[in-house]
Amino acid sequence: MPGVALSDTGQEQARVLAEGIAGLPVRAVFTSPVQRAQETAAPLAARLGLTPQVEPGLDEIDVGAWTGASFDALHAQPGWRAWNRFRGFAPTPGGETMVAVQARALALVGRLCRDWPDAELVLVSHSDVLKAVLMQFLGMPLDLMHRIEVAPASRSVLDVFDEDARVEAINLPVGCLQV
């Protein structure tokens, strides 16, 4: 939802994440238009002397009529269970499908690879958006995306080269630089 800022814990996680990544040769930082993602990207970009670039391809899933609803309220919605079991095709009421989210995120990854060949980039987005990208390169269907975790302020590493990619790490904890 718009207007939701990082909590104090989230701000601390963003600071620690920035410290952990600041030594890497990052050439650009891209972020979702959502406020909390921009707040996560800001400390890292500042440490690197970069300006975060807002990219709509990294935006959170538009869940339509479910936006702003509590999880308790969503559990009563008939489509909520299907959405969580069958992400590959289950619709959201007036929002995006997971396939559409994956397509827009992968289109961005492709464009960034063409525009920034051989560059180390940071993409700050949302768990399910990042999982959708990882699922593509892991060769896994979106219906199984709940089998991997992408926690807040964690780091996943994707090495994209030529027409292929290698997933080098998923869900590294805040401050961890091991790959």
- Catalogue all structural domains in the chain, each as residue range(s) with its CATH number: 8-62+97-172 (3.40.50.1240)
pLDDT average, residue stretch 69-97: 91
Integer angstrom CA distances of residue 57 from 44, 53, 60, 83, 126? 20, 11, 9, 21, 11
pLDDT average, residue stretch 128-134: 97
Structure confidence at residue 174 as a pLDDT band (50, 70, 90): confident
Q: Report the predicted TM-score, pTM, of the whole model to 2 decimal places.
A: 0.93
Tokens 């995306």, residue located: 145
Integer angstrom CA distances of residue 8 from 14, 15, 39, 164? 10, 11, 11, 38
pLDDT single digits (tens) 160-170? 987 789 999 99
pLDDT at site 178:
46
Task: Print burial letters for 26-50: b (CB count within 10 Å at least 16), e (below 16).
Answer: bebbbbbebebbbbbbbbbbebbee
- Note whether 4 and 37 are within 8 A (CB): no
pLDDT at site 4:
87
pLDDT average, residue stretch 169-177: 79
Q: 44 pLDDT exceeds 50?
A: yes
Integer angstrom CA distances of residue 127 from 47, 106, 111, 119? 24, 15, 21, 23
Q: 179 pLDDT exceeds 70?
A: no
Tokens 């630089």, residue located: 177
Question: CA-CA distance, 35 to 1, in Å (whole number)?
Answer: 9
